[in-house]
Amino acid sequence: MAPVAWYGYLRPHRLRETPAIVRLFLASLSGAILSLCYHNSFPALYAWFCIALLLSSILGARAVVAFFCGFLHGLVFVFTAVPWIAETLSVHGGVSAAAGWGVLLLIGSVWAASVGIFAWMVQRLSLRSYTLALVGAPFLFICTEVFRTYLPEISFPWVLLGYAPAENPALLQLVTITGVYGLSFLAVAFNALLLWTDCGLPEEWKRRLTILGSAITVLLLVMLVGPRFVPKSEAHHIARVVQANFPENEQYAGDWYADHRADMAELEKLSLRPSPGARQPDLLIWSEAPAPFSFEDARFVPYISRLATEFRNPVIVGVIEWKPNTEADGGGPHPAMIPYNSAAMLNASGQRVFLYDKMHLVPFGEYEPFPLIHQVVTSVSEEVGGFHKGTERSVGTFANGYKFSVFICYEAIYPREVRAFTNRGAQLLINISNDGWFGASAAAEQHLRMARVRAVENRRWLVRDTNSGLSASIDPYGNVTRVMGRDVRGSADLPYDFRTDRTLYVRFDDWFAWMCVLVSAILVVITFRKDK
């Protein structure tokens, strides 16, 4: 007899004896434990065995039970990993706490349904053989992440599985080839290997254990020794990032500039303070912020232009850009001017020379994907439901000839969209964001982790400036060189530089993810093919 496996009586050759209630409990437990990977004080260890726990609840189950095992895993994971969604809606969105959790339930149900389908397909493959099911599991799991990334209008690829192993600097370098999906695949494959080790006949157990031991040895060597060989990039430039820490307001009531005269004076002081180092900052960045900064405002334009001339270097700032409504026909309720969530750059002469309009807006937060639903979810800022999508991934050019791009807040979680900036020639990536909506939750830390992966996927320096933290500079290998804390106003001089090389991921987009989708399609066909 093989020794008792870690999952006790749920060993694969006895899985058909497992009651459905036990399976559902284990699937829910795996989702709850996996979410610990995405909270500040917990390591990424759980990603290496939680999916095995989910798979053990699926193998040998009836189809409907397998689906609900996957569904409960996904739903519990959403409720424990991203509960801040409900809090944000209730605190800033003008809805009750119950309504906030109701919206989270809707989001979680869509997310969980994709995991349920994954579980169902693994169960169908297991009817042919457990080995086939476990080999197919990593490919099928990537399909759930592709679904979450490419789902029209309401996609939400937040905290994909690969972000957990990405905490290891050596493993992180894989994303230059496969994107974050490669790390997700690696984690699921290792989980499947754990289960496969005890799936065979007793006489096969030693051989399978040897394979598992070899895999663990290689993985540990990469994780423990590999980080020593991850280089650190040398920076030749300094950016001054200003963290304004403005409170989250739903409306800009009264005379905002008069009410915040002292705040604006303090931000100017932080922007122009003498640098303590030998190298002076040659770039100033202001984050996306809950403030009515607009180049259509006669009070803002002279202020920011004068700041640029006194700083004597480029200034990048988040603004609300108002443009003529080309769809207005003059006979209806269409407004003449419509707002965009934008980032602008002024040169050392105080002239605006660059503008990027955010292309991927936050559904229900910045625009209305489904207007009827939006009547239930009220605004989380003055412009909710009013922002319009940009049309071009702009690349700007500094006076020294180097090129850069700015992406805004939520866009940091979309690998292929950030990649598009690099493919258009950006040699530096800048991410401005307002993470104050997240409150004291783990969301700000999760957001920084995902931005860090974007820097490595593109092999670019990434300077990240947020309204209320966490602001940081990340080098092309994922080394976070400085982080400004949360809920503090201040400025920091952060290193950055430029690169021109393109990674395989930048060149070939989500090739790995779509390869997994193709293999999954073949596996699905196999499950429906009748043997002669």
Spans of all domains in the chain: 8-229+510-528, 238-501
Segment 169-197 mean pLDDT: 97
Task: State which amino acid sits at residue 519.
Answer: V
- Looking at per-residue pLDDT, the higher value among 19 and 532 belongs to 19
CB within 8 Å of 435: residues ≥ 6 apart: 409, 443, 444, 447, 466, 467, 468, 469, 470
Of the pLDDT bands very low, low, confident and very high (cuts 50, 70, 90), residue 509 is very high
Segment 56-73 mean pLDDT: 96
Per-residue buried b or exposed e for 293-306, using 16+ beta carbons within 10 Å of the residue's own CB = bbbebeebbeebbe
Q: What is the pLDDT of residue 89?
A: 75
Of the pLDDT bands very low, low, confident and very high (cuts 50, 70, 90), residue 283 is very high
Taking the C-alpha atoms of residue 172 and residue 123, their distance in angstroms, rounded to an integer, is 31
Per-residue pLDDT for 250 more than 70?
A: no
Per-residue pLDDT for 275 more than 90?
A: no
Provide the percentage of residues in the chain whose pLDDT is more than 90.
69
Nearest CA-CA partner of 315 in 257, 268, 258, 261: 268
Of the pLDDT bands very low, low, confident and very high (cuts 50, 70, 90), residue 438 is confident
In 3-state terms, what secondary structure has residue 107? Answer: helix
Of the pLDDT bands very low, low, confident and very high (cuts 50, 70, 90), residue 383 is very low
Per-residue pLDDT for 329 more than 60?
A: no
Per-residue pLDDT for 402 more than 60?
A: yes
Asked whether 411 and 444 are in contact (CB, 8 A), the reply is no
Per-residue pLDDT for 3 more than 50?
A: no
Cβ of 166: how many Cβ atoms within 10 Å? 26
Segment 447-452 mean pLDDT: 96
Segment 296-321 mean pLDDT: 95
Per-residue pLDDT for 531 more than 90?
A: no
- Most distant CA pair in the chain, distance: 81
Q: Which CATH superfamily is domain 238-501 in?
A: Carbon-nitrogen hydrolase (3.60.110.10)
Torsion, Cα of 171, 406, 399, 267 (10° steps): -110
Q: What is the pLDDT of residue 333?
A: 57
Q: What is the pLDDT of residue 86?
A: 86
Taking the C-alpha atoms of residue 133 and residue 56, their distance in angstroms, rounded to an integer, is 11
- Looking at per-residue pLDDT, the higher value among 87 and 306 belongs to 306
- The string of pLDDT tens digits covering residues 211-240 is 999 999 999 999 999 999 999 999 999 999
Segment 134-161 mean pLDDT: 95
Per-residue pLDDT for 384 more than 80?
A: no
Q: What is the pLDDT of residue 95?
A: 66
Least-confidence region, from 301-305, 336-340, 396-400:
336-340
Q: What is the pLDDT of residue 53?
A: 95
**What is the chain's mean pLDDT, rounded?**
88
Per-residue pLDDT for 9 more than 80?
A: no
Per-residue pLDDT for 364 more than 80?
A: no
